[in-house]
Structure 1
Amino acid sequence: MIEASWIAVAFVMGLAARSIGLPPLVGYLGAGFTLAGLGAHLDIGPLDSLVLEHIAHLGVLLLMFTVGLKLKLGNLIRREVIGGGLLHFAISSLLLLPAILLILDLPWQQGALLAIALSFSSTVLAAKVLESKRELRAFHGRVAIGVLIIQDLIALVVMSLASGEVPSPWALLVFALPLLRPLLFRLLDASGHEELMVLLGLLMALAVGGYGFEYIGLSSELGALAFGAMLAKHKRAVELSNSLWSIKEIFLVGFFLQIGIGGLPGADALIFAAVMALVLPLKGLLFFALFLRFRLRARSAFLSSVSLTNYSEFGLIVTSVVLPQWTIPLAITLAVSFVISAPLNRHAHPLYEKLAKRLIPLERDTRHPDEQPVSLGNSQILIMGMGRTGRAAYDHLQEKGFEVVGLDSDPVVIEFSAKVGRRVLFADGEDQMLWQMLEMPAVEAVILALNDAETQIISTQKLRERGFRGLIVSHALYEDIAQRIQDAGADRTYLTMSEAGAGLAEHVARDLQPKT
C-alpha cells in the first residue's frame, strides 16, 4: 500500500511539474515533501524507509554507471573542459566559503563541504535538456557534459575522503581492472540487444562495480563509474546507456522521494534557497568568462554556460553522505535552480540571438577551438556529418576524383579525420552564423549524412534560404522524416535501411551473373 502511494504521488507531482515546463525531478522532490506531510496518515515505518533508501542508492549507482559509459578521454582531455571545470570549481568554492562561514556560522570543514556541493552543476538536467534539443553531440553540448563529468569525479573524491572509510588491502586490485576490459567487451558482444544486455549493465553497475567496491572499502559510486568507463570505448556503449536510462530514472525517483520524506523544509531552508537563487546567475557568468578565456566563441561559451547554470543533484548526494543535516536546504535550493534553469535552457538560442551583438565583441582575438570555416575553397561536394555514412561517402567520392570536404561538430572526429588524411572542418549545422558567413563558391552538391533529423532539416532550410541551387541529398531512417527533409528543400532523401538492402542485393546479383 505504501509503495502504491509513493508511485501515485510521484506520478501526479511529476506530471504537474512537466505540464508547467519544469523537469519532473522537481515534482518528485515535491512528492517527497507531500508524503512527509501525510506521513502520519500513511504510517511510513522504518522498513518502508529502508526500502526507499535502497532504491535511492540503486538509482545513484546507475546514474554513475551511465556517466561512466560517456567517459571518453578524447572529449575530456581538452583545455576548455579540464581548465574550465577545475577553475570554476576552485573559484566558486573559494568565493562561497567565506560567505557561508560569515552568514551561517559553521565550522570551516562543514562550510567547505557545503561550498563544494554548491559549486557543482546538474548532470541529469543538463543531459536531459541537451538530449531533448539534440545538442549532446554539438560542441557546446560536449563541453558542458565534459565539465559535468569532471565535477562528478571531484564529487566522488570528496565523498571518499569525507566518509573517512579506510580501504582494505584488496583495494589495490583496482589497478588491475583494465585487464578485465577484453572480458567485459566479450560479455557485452555476447549479450545481444535485449534483456541480457540490460541485465549485464545492472550486474556491472550494482553488483560488480557498486557492491564490489563497497566490499573492499571503496566508494560504491566510484565502482559503478569505473565499470561504466571501462565499457565506454565499446561500440555499443551508447546502446547500453540508452537501455538503462529509463531504469535509472525510475530508481532516481526514489532518491528524490527519500530526500523529501526526510522532513518538511523550515523557514531557514527556504531563506537559504532564495539566497542561493540570487547567487545562481554569478555561477553562469563565471562559466561564460572562463570559456571565453579558453578561446571559445561567444555562442559556444553562452550555450555551455546556460546548460551549467544550476545546482547539482550530485551535490545533494554528497551532502546526504557527509552533511545530512543540510540535505533539506540543499534539496530546496536544487529545486529552485531547476525552476530557473529549465526555461532558460529552453529559450537559450533565441536569447543568444538577442544578446549576440553584445557578447561577440567579448571573444578573444585568436583562433577558437570551435572556429567555423569561412570558405570551402574549390570543394565540389560538401558532406555534413562524418560518421560511418559520411566517411564512406567521402572516401568513395574522393576515389572518383571529386574535391570533397566534410563538416562535423565533434572535435574528436575532426582530429581522427586529420590523421587519416580527410579534410574535415568543425561546424554546427544549427548555428545560423555558419550559413550566413560560409563561402562555398564551387560546391555543386551537399550530402547530409547527419544522424539528427532536426539538424538535417535545419541545414536544408538554411542552404536554400541562402540561395544554394545545387543538389541536396540526405539519408533518413523513417519515411516521415524523409518527407520532412524533402519538404525543407532536399532533392532526394534515401531510406538508410532500404539502401543498405538494395546494396546487398546488388552485390548478390553481380556475383550470381553468369561468367562469359
Structure 2
Amino acid sequence: MIEATWIAFAFGLGLVARVIGLPPLIGYLGAGFALAAFDNQLGITRQDSEILAHLSHLGVLLLLFTVGLKLKLGNLARPEVVGGSVLHFALSSVLMLPPILLFLEVGWYEALMLSVVLAFSSTVLAAKVLESRRELKAFHGRVAIGVLIMQDLIALLVMSLTSGQVPSAWALLVFLLPLLRPLLFRLLDHSGHEELLVLLGLMLALVVGGLGFESVGLSSELGALAFGAMLAKHPRAGELSNSLWSVKEVFLVGFFLQIGIGGLPDADALIFAALMSLLLPLKTVLFFFLFLAFRLRSRSAFLSAASLTNYSEFGLIVMSVAMPQWLVPLAITVAFSFILSAQFNRVSASLYNRLASRLVRLERNTRHPDEQPVSLGDAQILVMGMGRSGRAAYHYLKEKGYRLISLDSDPVAVERAAGEGCNVLYADAEDQTFWQSLEMRQVEAVILTMNDAEAKVIASRKLRERGFTGLLVSHALYEDVARQIEAAGADHTYLTMSEAGAGLAQNVAMQLEARHARPQV
C-alpha cells in the first residue's frame, strides 16, 4: 500500500514541477519531504524507509553503470580531469573552512569534515543533467564526469580513513578485472536484444559490480561504474544502456524520494543549508578558472563548471560514517543545491552566450587538443559522425576522388577513424561556439551520420542559419525523426532500414541477372 503512496506523491509533485518549468526531480524531492511530514498519518514504518533506501541505491548503481557504458577510461588520464579534481578538492576544502568556523559553533574536526564533504559534487545529478541534454559525450560532459569519478575515488579514501576500515586483501583482485573483458563481450554478444539483455545489465550492475565490490570492502557504486566502463568499447554498449533506461529512471525516483524522506529539518538545519547554498558560486568560479588554467575554452570551462555546481549525495554517505548527527542538515543542503543547480543548468548555455564576449578574454592563448577545429580547409564534403555509416560513406566517396573531412564528438571514434586513414577532427555538433567559428567555404555537401537524432536536427539548423546552401543529407531510423531533420534544413533524410532493404534487394537482383546472363550448358 505504501508503495502506491510513494508513486502517487512522486508523480503528482513531479508533474507539478514540470508544469511550472522545473525538472521533475525537484518534485520528487518535494514528494520526499511531504512523505516525511505526513509519515504518521500515512503509516510509514522503518521497514518501508529501508525498502525505499534499497530501491534508491539500486537506481544509483544503474545510473553509474550506464554512465560507465558511455565512458572511455582514457578520458580520466587527462590533466584537466586529474588536476582539476584534486586541486579543486584541496582549494575548496580550504576556502570553505573559514566560513564554517565563522558562522557555526563547531570544532576544528567537525568544520574540516563539513568542508571536505561540501567539496564534492553530485555524480547522480550531474550525470542526469548531462544525459537529459545528450551531453555525456560532449567534451565538457566528459570532463565533468571524469572529475566526478575522481571525486568519488577521493570520497572513498576519506570514508576509509574516517571509518578506520580498510578494504580486504581480496580487493586487490579488482586490478585483474580487465582480464574479464573478453568474457563480458561474449556474454553481451549472446544476450540477444530483449529481456536477457536487460538481465545481463542488472546482473553486472547490481550483483557482480555492486555486491561483488561490497564483499571485498569497496564501494558498490565504484563496482557498477567499473563494469559499465569495461563494456564501453563494445558495439552494443549503447543498446544495453537504452535497454536499462526505464528501469533506471524508476529506481532513481526512489533516490530523490529518499533524500526528502530522511526527516524534516529544524530551523538550524535550514539556516545551515541556506548559508551553504550561498557558497555554491564559489564552486562554479573555482572550477571555471581551474579548467581555464588547463587550456579549456571558456565555453567548455563554463559548462563543465555549471554541471558541477552542486553538493554531493556521496557526502551524505561519508558523513553517515564520520558524523551521523549532521545527516539531516546536509540532506537539506544537498536538496537546496539540487534545486539551484537544476535551474542554473537550464540556462547555462544561454547565459554563456550572453557572457561569451567577456569570458573569452580570460582564455589562455594555447588551445586544448580536444577542442573544436575552426577551419575545414579545402574539403568538398563534410561527414559528421564516424560510426559504421559515416566511415562507410567516407571510404566510398574517397574512392571516388572527393576531398573529404570528417568530424565526431567521441574521441574513441576519432582515434579509430584516424587509424583507418580518415581526415578526421574532434567536434561537437551541439556546441554553439563551434558553429560560430567554423570556416567551410569550399564544402559543397554535408552528410549527417551521428547516432543522436537531436544532434542531426541541431546540425541541420545551424548549417542553414550560417548560410550553407550546399547539399545536406542525413539518415534516420524513424519517419518522424526524418521529418524533423528535414524541417530543420536537410535536403533529404534516408531511412536507414528502408535503404538497407533496398540495397539488399538490389544486390539480389544483380546476382540473379548475372546468373541468367551466363550461357546455359
Question: Same fold by TM-score, threshold 0.5 exceeded?
Answer: yes
Where in structure 2 are the equivalents of 1:193-272 lying within 5 Å?
193-272=193-272
**Post-superposition shift, 1:370?**
4.4
Q: 1:419 matched to which residue of 2?
A: 419
Report the AA paired with residue 290 of structure 1: L
Answering whether residue 505 of structure 2 is matched by residue 497 of structure 1, we say: no
Corresponding residue for residue 60 of structure 1: 60
Give me the whole-angstrom Cα distance separating, in 1, the residues matched to 2:246 and 2:327.
Answer: 25
1:453-472 matches, within 5 Å, as 453-472=453-472
Preserved CA contact (<8 Å) 1:85 1:150:
yes
For residue 136 of structure 2, what is the aligned residue in structure 1?
A: 136
Partner of 1:399: 399
Contact 1:160/1:219, CA 8 A, preserved across alignment: no
Q: Distance in 2 between matches of 1:232 and 1:351?
A: 33
Task: Decide whether the 8 Å contact of 2:60 with 2:124 is kept in 1.
Answer: no
What is the CA deviation profile of residues 2-22 of structure 1, one whole-angstrom value per residue up to 9, with x for unaligned ones?
A: 232222222222222333333
Q: What is the alpha-carbon distance in structure 2 between the residues aligned to residue 127 and residue 478 of structure 1?
A: 27
Give 3-state SS (helix, strand or coil) of 2:376's partner.
coil
2:440 corresponding residue in structure 1 = 440
Cα pair distance change 1:107/1:249, threshold 3 Å: farther
**1:481 lines up with 2:481 in the alignment:** yes
Q: Specify whether residues 121 and 493 from structure 1 end up closer, same or farther in structure 2 by C-alpha distance, changes over 3 A only.
A: same
Paired AA for residue 165 in structure 2 = E
Structure 1 position 363, deviation (Å)? 0.9
Alpha-carbon separation, structure 2, partners of 1:46 and 1:346: 36
For residues 371 and 260 of structure 1, the distance between their equivalents in structure 2, rounded to whole angstroms, comes to 40
For 1:343, the equivalent position in structure 2 comes to: 343
- Confirm or deny: 8 A CA contact 2:70 2:137 kept in the other structure: no
| Structure 1 equivalent of residue 114 of structure 2 | 114
Q: Which residue of 2 aligns with 1:191?
A: 191
Matched-pair contact (CA < 8 Å) for 2:163–2:321: yes
Measured in 1, the distance between the counterparts of 2:62 and 2:321 equals 17
1:310 corresponds in structure 2 to 310
Partner of 1:446: helix, strand, or coil? strand
**TM superposition shift of 1:369:** 2.8
- Would the aligned equivalents of 1:74 and 1:412 in 2 still touch at CA under 8 Å? no
Determine if contact 2:67/2:127 at 8 Å carries over to the other structure: no
For residue 91 of structure 2, what is the aligned residue in structure 1?
91
Q: Is the alpha carbon distance of 1:234 and 1:461 closer, same or farther for their aligned partners in structure 2, counting shifts above 3 Å? A: closer
Instruction: Check conservation: 1:473, 1:493, Cα contact below 8 A.
Output: yes
1:473 alignment partner AA: V
> In 2 relative to 1, CA 373–36 (structure 1 residues): closer, same or farther, beyond 3 Å?
closer
Aligned with 1:137: secondary structure?
A: coil
Q: Distance in 2 between matches of 1:258 and 1:488?
A: 42
Count of residues in correspondence between the two structures: 516
For residue 55 of structure 1, what is the amino acid of its counterpart? L
Number of the residue aligned with 2:368? 368
Distance 1:63 1:432 in 2: 28
Indicate the residue corresponding to 1:327 in structure 2: 327
Structure 1: distance between partners of 2:133 and 2:225: 26
Farther-moved stretch of structure 1 (101-110 vs 205-214): 101-110
Q: Give the TM-score of the pair, scaled to structure 1.
A: 0.92
- Code of the residue aligned with 2:205 in structure 1: it is A
- Corresponding residue for residue 20 of structure 2: 20
Of 351-360 and 445-454, more deviation after overlay is shown by 445-454
The corresponding residue for 1:173 is: 173
> What TM-score do you get using the length of structure 2 for normalisation?
0.91
Query: Aligned partner of 2:387: which letter?
Result: G
The runs of 5 or more residues in structure 1 that have no matched partner are: none
Gaps of 5+ in 2: none
- Shift in Å, 1:310: 1.6
Secondary structure at the aligned position of 1:440 is classed as: coil
Residue in 2 that maps onto 1:275: 275
Q: What SS does the corresponding residue of 1:429 show, helix, strand or coil? A: coil
Identity %: 71
Counterpart for residue 410 of structure 2: 410
Please say if residues 382 and 446 of structure 2, whose CA atoms lie closer than 8 Å, have aligned partners that are also in contact. yes
* Deviation at residue 191 of structure 1 after TM alignment: 1.6
- The 1:85–1:169 alpha-carbon spacing in structure 2 relative to 1, beyond 3 Å, is closer
Say yes or no: does 1:80 pair with 2:80: yes
Which shifted more, 213-222 or 349-358? 213-222
> In 2, distance between residues paired with 1:208 and 1:454?
34
Distance between the aligned counterparts of 1:466 and 1:170, measured in 2?
58
CA 171–457 in structure 1, closer or farther in 2 if over 3 Å, else same: closer
Q: Secondary structure at the match of 1:347?
A: helix
Distance 2:355 2:96 in 1: 28
- Residues 407, 427 of structure 1: 8 Å contact kept: yes
RMSD: 2.4
Maintained 8 Å contact 1:213/1:223? yes
- Measure the CA separation in 2 of the matches of 1:234 and 1:508: 31
Letter in 2 for 1:50: E
32 and 41 in structure 1: CA distance in 2 versus 1, 3 angstrom threshold: same
Aligned residue number for residue 382 of structure 1: 382
Local SS of the residue matching 1:150: helix
1:285 shift after superposition: 1.0
The whole-number CA distance in structure 1 between the counterparts of 2:189 and 2:432 is 41
Contact 1:81 1:146 in 2 (8 A): yes
Partner of 2:126: 126
Q: Secondary structure at the match of 1:119?
A: coil
> Equivalent residue of 2:474, what SS?
strand
* Closer/same/farther in 2, CA of residues 161 and 55 from structure 1, 3 Å limit: farther
* Secondary structure of 2:141 counterpart: helix
1:397 CA drift (Å): 0.9
Residue 118 of structure 2: SS of its match in structure 1? helix
Q: Per the alignment, do residues 321 and 254 of structure 1 end up closer, same or farther by CA in structure 2, a change over 3 Å counting? A: farther
Residue 454 of structure 1 and its aligned partner are, at CA, apart by 3.0
Secondary structure of the corresponding residue to residue 22 of structure 1: coil
CA distance in 2, matches of 1:39, 1:332: 18
Alpha-carbon distance, 1:321 to partner? 4.3
Change (3 A) 1:368 1:315: same
The Cα shift of 1:166 comes to 4.2
Give the Cα–Cα distance (whole angstroms) in 1 for the partners of residues 358 and 284 of structure 2.
17
1:424 corresponds to which letter in structure 2? V
Going from structure 1 to structure 2, the CA distance change for 1:299 and 1:257 (only over 3 Å counts) comes to closer
Contact 1:298 1:359 in 2 (8 A): yes
Aligned-pair CA distance for 1:366: 1.6
- Matched residues in 2 for 1:22 and 1:331: separation? 20
